[in-house]
Structure 1
């Protein structure tokens, strides 16, 4: 007999455009509902809010923008899955495997995280379930009287076995925004507590951008490439740029290509060579700056060039 599927989600498939489900690959969704297994498949923007998906195998799946609000995700294997911008608010993540998962922009508020299960043991159980019709959909909404299924706000979960996953994400965000690995243990702890209290990774990212460390990172780029400090106008421009999901490395490349950066290179040429920067020099030193060097490094290189020696 065919294993039962989630009745509410099956109805979504039948109604098509009349529903809120927007899975880009309906066949993948059917496969998942029938088997509880959908590796490397496309379930982007699917609506599985409040459903019981426990023990599912979603390794490498694309769940970008998925609505998993209040879903039971206990023991789900999300290894290397894409959960960017997904809604996991109030979901149950006890024992879920999140190794290598993309959690950028994921709403992670009020989850019950609990403890991780051994990955090898979970894999053996999954293999036993496959082909036996043992995966079943059990909606949490049908068990509202069972308080043990209700998600809880647990700050202490960020000190448990799943803490490493969130620490990795926080370090990645900090590196992306500041181009530095020097996030303090105190900041990691405070941002982890903010996540536990309902903030999303997207909100944490904005906090880091607005922090003194975020401003200092932009100022370092200005000093390195333009030879001056960041002004208020530049702060507004580049803070907005980072808030649109861009990284500090991209910001640096944008400034290198700017008219002001070219003017800074031209000043070096005028001072040391007595002439304006030409196209060949622009290409050479733009490439040089893109390798992480500064305008001061350019100055030293030009000062030691044969052309400067010939002018003496």
Structure 2
């Protein structure tokens, strides 16, 4: 879940029931600057922000916003002691923009438009080098539709899924490249693909999700022509104009990984740009299904420069 581009971590995360997404009422409204109280006499939750007063009778499928009755898409309920409210009510009650991305199951709440160089953006300050709003919106539409269509189809490790899973469970290549057995080859390939994620202590679920995301980004960014003139620079150049170089590739990778809920940045050195992604506290340079762990501080000390800051936070 994101609020104004910042990832949120609460005791009770969003819940999807019958196609409706519920979020923790108090956490969300207080984060949006509202005050939440309860009237025990009327069994009503009261939310106030500025001149807006919201009253939510418990167990009912309606609420009052400044005295006007508003029907809820579903009744609020309590889960683990936390009151859950349909996320779409945020738009009705406070005018916040709300998006539910079914893949990769992310709630995006925007209470104030984030604008960078005149472009309203979704994730941090990343525009993916778009020249205008139309280019940005086109890029995000392509990225989101691609993720929604392809993510669930992906099989971790593809035809060698069995051996990739074995690698996660501790099995390893025996060190003998002359052994061309299917299993040994599969474990060797798994080592080259996800070995650095595993050695960094990334969780099994985290490795699988990262592999799928990297595969998607690599596939989406492929199939372009490099004109060799240094002009391609944006995700739009890659995805729409179909011309690309390292800069445009990095922007596509950033857009895909951002949309999947990760923290990304773009770093440059020696005339080359790379996107780095933070996975469970570690920075990696991803390829199409492979990962190289990066010492970011060491790279910066050696002269590399961050040309696009992280999605969340700043690095000086």
**Rg comparison, structure with higher value:** 1
- Greater fraction strand: 2
Kindly indicate whether structure 1 or structure 2 has the higher relative contact order, using CA contacts under 8 Å at least 6 residues apart: 2
- Greater fraction helix: 1
